[in-house]
Amino acid sequence: MNKINNICISISYDGSDFFGSQSQLNLRTVQSEVSKKLDLIFGNYDDLTFASRTDKGVNADLQYFGFKKSDIDTSEIFLKFNLLSKNLPNDIIVRKICLMPNGFNVRKNVSKRTYTYKILDQKLINKLDVKKMIFASNLLVGEHNFRSFAGRNAKDKFFREIFSIKIKNTDQEVEFQISGKSFIHQQIRRIIFSLLRVGLAKEKTDWLSNLIKFPIKGGSKGIAPSNNLTLKEVLYDKKHQKLLEKV
């Protein structure tokens, strides 16, 4: 029986010119660009999977993808990795390669995903009550039914857990940092939009609380633009994280 190598590669990317991370017919995505180069350099492989899905325009500081490849020795894997690093487009930066245990799944084994969202519009920043947004954000931390913050295409599994929401402000920007194991499609950008409505005094904190207590599709009233959202970090359990961080 041939040895199957479970390969995991970390990347970062500027999402400005991508229609998201996942493959879409006739559209430029991160996965489509990666697939083209993997086909060229690695030949036959199986189960290309990304750790986290990102929408059109969303950036990533740390994203992982994994795939399986047989009939190849370790030295050749690293030679091909170097070729991949040099041949991907400039808006995808390859960071590191790791050979993982056979049972590892780059998506299913994630224990924590962290996203950041930055507000850079000075006029908007001057109008925001950041303290009120911080108070309101605490209502969203924990396990809840987030149906009110789900995108149109989200159909089920609305119960998710948010580990933390941090909001930092300086003279130049307001940054939101949201962490959890997994998120519903568009959940983060709809949460940001809702917190901004509270910060602008367009809604009271009771409104946000009721979105959790009495979830209804579309309750968040809108969605923040995608171009200021970044997948900041993906973390795994200690055993797998140690392998991924090994020099």
Q: Which residues are catalytic?
A: 55
Phi, psi of 176 (to 5 degrees): -100, 135
Q: Residue 140 and residue 220: Cα distance in Å, rounded?
A: 13
- Closest residue by Cα to residue 99 from 209, 3, 174: 3
Question: Would you call 51 exposed, middle or buried from its count of C-beta atoms within 10 A (0-12, 13-18, 19+)?
Answer: buried
Burial 199-226 (b: 16+ CB within 10 A, else e): beeebeeebbebbbeebeeebbeebbeb
Q: Residue 53 and residue 60: Cα distance in Å, rounded?
A: 10
